[in-house]
């Protein structure tokens, strides 16, 4: 498994199904969010399977949070119908909120791309990671979570610490 982030500039005709996207001037740059990727190999060391298109941070990039081919199409301005590209949870969340059984939508500030911070020294990063794992990701020790902590999952989030 690995993480991949694709960036591409649309300089030629892109064909996918009924889409025939001609390049624009200036060319469109598509930046995907970081995606989880897996590779499987056969006994000869040849790739036999690739999985991709699983966004890790939907806030990043120019694809509306979509990965894989859905993200490329979105980034080029040829979005597929929403029911094909969004999870059931995302589609029914407004209805669930209306009847009071879903959390409110995240604040706009939480949907912004996070500002990168300075990398921690490796020993400190390992120590904090160990503490987080031992504390059930901060549930058992909220002191490990900063005041501006947010949680994001595949369907929900980002949610504030409170």
Residues 6 and 47 in one domain: yes
Residue 35 lies in a domain: yes
Residues 75 and 114 in one domain: no
pLDDT at position 154 is 65
Residues 19 and 78 in one domain: yes
Residues 9 and 56 in one domain: yes
Residue 115 lies in a domain: yes
pLDDT at position 22 is 93
3 state SS of 15: strand
Could you say which of 51, 86, 121 is where a domain stops?
86
Residues 54 and 24 in one domain: yes
**Domain span at residue 136?**
105-160
DSSP string, 105-124: PPPHHHHSPPPP-PPPPHHH
Can you give the pLDDT of all 162 residues of the chain as single tens digits? 899 998 999 999 999 988 999 999 999 999 999 999 998 998 998 889 988 888 988 888 999 889 988 999 999 999 888 888 888 878 888 888 899 888 777 777 777 777 777 888 999 989 988 998 898 888 888 888 888 787 777 666 777 777
């Amino acid at each position: 498994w690995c993480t991949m982030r694709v960036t591409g500039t649309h300089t030629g005709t892109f064909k996918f199904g009924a889409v025939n996207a001609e390049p624009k001037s200036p060319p469109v740059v598509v930046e995907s969010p970081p995606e989880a990727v897996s590779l499987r190999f056969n006994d000869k060391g040849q790739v036999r399977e690739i999985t991709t298109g699983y966004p890790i941070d939907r806030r990043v990039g120019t694809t509306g949070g979509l990965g894989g081919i859905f993200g490329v199409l979105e980034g080029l301005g040829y979005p597929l119908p929403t029911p094909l590209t969004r999870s059931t949870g995302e589609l029914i969340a407004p209805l669930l909120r209306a009847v009071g059984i879903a959390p409110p939508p995240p604040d706009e500030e939480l949907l912004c791309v996070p500002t990168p911070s300075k990398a921690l020294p490796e020993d400190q990063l390992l120590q904090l990671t160990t503490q987080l794992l031992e504390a059930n990701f901060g549930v058992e020790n909220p002191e490990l979570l900063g005041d501006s902590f947010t949680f994001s999952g595949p369907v929900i989030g980002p949610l504030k610490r409170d």
